Amino acid sequence: MSHLPFALRAGLVSMAVLLAACGSSPPDTISLPAQGAAVSADVRTQPVRRELTKPGCKGEDCPRIVVDSIAFPEIPALTQHVDSSLAGMTGVDANLRGAYRTIDEYIAYFWRTAQPRDRTELRAKVRDVVADVIGVELQTAQYLTGAAHGIPATHFLNWQRASGRELVLDDVLIPGRRDQYVQALRTAHRAWLKQNEDAARDPAAYDRTWPFVESSNYTLTRQGMVVKYDAYSIAPYSHGQPELTIPYDALRGILKPEFMPAGG
């Protein structure tokens, strides 16, 4: 198996995103149907698409980077944050991190170290826009020589337009209500297990192998708060990256009022 750092390959794709942002297509406008005052619309995005092959390499075995991301023409700070967040998902060794502060630099490093057939994908899309918060779903996938399957990763980036910054979970929870959030997440997990055929066959064995764990990887949607898990965290690889949805009714007294939908 390749000895390339996991971070490295993911980062490559992220870099491609930055580069891709330079070559553009006509902007799209994401118009979300208004369902209460909490839903914002008309977030303009621009496709960022590019496929790169290691310079000087020819043939099917060349390392590749695939980018399918977005830029925000009217929110340059968010465009940059998408890029830096994708770069952060690469997980580069802490000893190297200081030397690779940009995606461009990271791409160059990937070309120097990638093995034949290594491929990284970097993707970003708007998941939803609620309460002036733009939820961007960032995804990386790494296909490494010798690995049995790809290595996926997903991160939700929640950008508040009014403040011009990312909101982590504690920013949207009422202070002191983290334990209640975890309980609501447990309830959502139990509901998810009922739809899980593997868990239904032997609940006790499944719970021992794949016990509940907490996650802070959230985004707000019109259906509720979606919480994402990594592969292998609460389910086998075949289940992908599970999502749990906490309905807003279950978040009363937990989520700050300004992030609750109208009437919630």
Question: Do residues 77 and 185 share a domain?
Answer: no
Query: For strand 28-30 and strand 43-53, is the pairing parallel, antiparallel, or unpaired?
Result: antiparallel
CATH classification at residue 230: 3.90.640.20
Full domain range(s) for residue 84: 38-167
What is the pLDDT, as a whole number, of residue 238? Answer: 84
Which of 111, 143, 167 is the last residue in one of the domains? 167
Question: Do residues 111 and 161 share a domain?
Answer: yes
Q: Is residue 138 part of a domain?
A: yes
Mean pLDDT of 226-253: 94
Q: Is residue 19 part of a domain?
A: no
What is the pLDDT, as a whole number, of residue 4? Answer: 42
Question: Do residues 245 and 153 share a domain?
Answer: no
CATH classification at residue 64: 3.30.565.40
Q: Is residue 24 part of a domain?
A: no
Instruction: Please report, in angstroms and rounded to a whole number, the separation of the first and last CA atoms in the chain.
Output: 51
What is the pLDDT, as a whole number, of residue 29? Answer: 45
Which of 101, 136, 167 is the last residue in one of the domains? 167
Higher pLDDT, 184 or 151: 184
121 vs 36: CA distance, rounded Å: 36
Higher pLDDT, 90 or 141: 141
Confidence of residue 102 (pLDDT cuts 50, 70, 90): low
- Both tokens of 73, joined, read 């023409």
Which of 167, 200, 216 is the last residue in one of the domains? 167
- Percent of the chain having pLDDT more than 90? 53
Q: Is residue 3 part of a domain?
A: no
Question: Do residues 89 and 142 share a domain?
Answer: yes
What is the pLDDT, as a whole number, of residue 22? Answer: 35
In tens, the pLDDT along 39-78 reads 345 799 999 888 999 999 999 999 998 888 999 999 999 9
What is the pLDDT, as a whole number, of residue 221? Answer: 96
Nearest to 255 by CA among 183, 178, 187: 178
What is the pLDDT, as a whole number, of residue 131? Answer: 87
Question: Do residues 207 and 143 share a domain?
Answer: no
| Side chain identity at residue 132, one-letter code | D
264 vs 262: CA distance, rounded Å: 5
**Helices 76-88 + 103-113 axis angle, to 10:** 30
What is the pLDDT, as a whole number, of residue 5? Answer: 44
- Both tokens of 21, joined, read 């942002």
Mean pLDDT of 242-251: 97
Confidence of residue 20 (pLDDT cuts 50, 70, 90): very low
Tokens 């929110």 found at: 75
In tens, the pLDDT along 187-230 reads 999 999 998 888 888 899 999 999 999 999 999 999 999 999 99
Q: Is the pLDDT of residue 19 over 70?
A: no
Question: Do residues 54 and 122 share a domain?
Answer: yes
Q: Is residue 14 part of a domain?
A: no
The mean-pLDDT minimum among 63-72, 122-131, 140-149, 150-159 falls in 140-149
The mean-pLDDT minimum among 114-128, 144-158, 201-215 falls in 144-158
Q: Is residue 30 part of a domain?
A: no
What is the pLDDT, as a whole number, of residue 264? Answer: 59
Question: Do residues 70 and 184 share a domain?
Answer: no
**Helices 6-22 + 103-113 axis angle, to 10:** 130
Q: Is residue 54 part of a domain?
A: yes
User: For the chain, how many structural domains are there in total?
Assistant: 2
Higher pLDDT, 211 or 94: 211
Confidence of residue 120 (pLDDT cuts 50, 70, 90): confident
pTM for the full predicted model: 0.80
102 vs 80: CA distance, rounded Å: 10
Q: Is the pLDDT of residue 105 over 60?
A: yes
Question: Do residues 95 and 203 share a domain?
Answer: no
Question: Do residues 159 and 244 share a domain?
Answer: no
Confidence of residue 91 (pLDDT cuts 50, 70, 90): low
Question: Do residues 108 and 203 share a domain?
Answer: no
